Structure 1
Amino acid sequence: MAHKQTPRDFLKLIVGRPVVVKLNSGADYRGVLISLDGYMNVVLEQTEEYVDGQLKNKYGDTFIRGNNAHKSVGDGYNLYRPFLYE
């Protein structure tokens, strides 16, 4: 029987990879996922802030509180979607 992947398994796989975190404000933060905890607090590095698809700011390390992340309905992984840098 195949092992069923849990959210924790998925998140372990994407640590160190580029991700997009959508905030309640509508802004997207794109950067490399460094760590996250049980409260879904996130630390990103090489972070870029996008508002309405436009780059607004660049930051080094960024801490995002879990309660600021947009809660999407769906597969549970919508908050952290790996993306490709162009």
Structure 2
Amino acid sequence: MADSSTPTPPPAAAAQQQQVKTGSPNDFLKGVIGKQVNVRLNSGIDYRGTLSCLDGYMNIALEQTCEYVDGVMKNNYGDAFIRGNNVMYITALE
């Protein structure tokens, strides 16, 4: 009689599967409040700073904000407000 159980994945595949985090975008955004984030705008400009707060329209308030154009820091703003319709994505830096 043949064993019908599924074979165990190789260790590399198992490790890769463990790195995938599940959860909603809302859970992610709640989890990064107070942490360093990178906000990419539709124009391709990046803003890096501490996420202070955001609302349902994805309007974002950042503290200690730096502006990066093509990977080069151009300005240092301190506090900044980004209108949500300009946001392409948000990534956590920590």
Q: What TM-score comes out, normalization by structure 2 length?
A: 0.73
2:49 counterpart (6, 14, 31): 31
Q: Cα offset for 1:24?
A: 1.3
* Runs of 4+, deviation exceeding 4 Å: none
What secondary structure sits across from 1:60 in the alignment? strand
Once residues 25 and 45 of structure 2 are traced to their aligned partners in structure 1, the CA distance between those partners, rounded to angstroms, is 24
The match for 2:37 is 19
- Aligned length in residues: 73
What secondary structure sits across from 1:9 in the alignment? helix
The match for 2:87 is 69
The match for 1:75 is none
The match for 2:93 is 83
Q: Cα offset for 1:6?
A: 1.7
Q: Deviations over 1:45-78 (max 9, x none)?
A: 00000001110000111000011112xxxxxxxx
Unaligned runs of 5+ in 1: 71-78
Identity of aligned residues (%): 59
Once residues 48 and 30 of structure 1 are traced to their aligned partners in structure 2, the CA distance between those partners, rounded to angstroms, is 5
Once residues 20 and 65 of structure 1 are traced to their aligned partners in structure 2, the CA distance between those partners, rounded to angstroms, is 15
For the aligned residue pairs, the C-alpha RMSD in angstroms reads 1.2
Bigger Cα Rg: 2
Q: Which has the higher helix share?
A: 2
Once residues 53 and 26 of structure 1 are traced to their aligned partners in structure 2, the CA distance between those partners, rounded to angstroms, is 10
Q: Cα offset for 1:5?
A: 1.9
The match for 1:44 is 62
Unaligned runs of 5+ in 2: 1-21
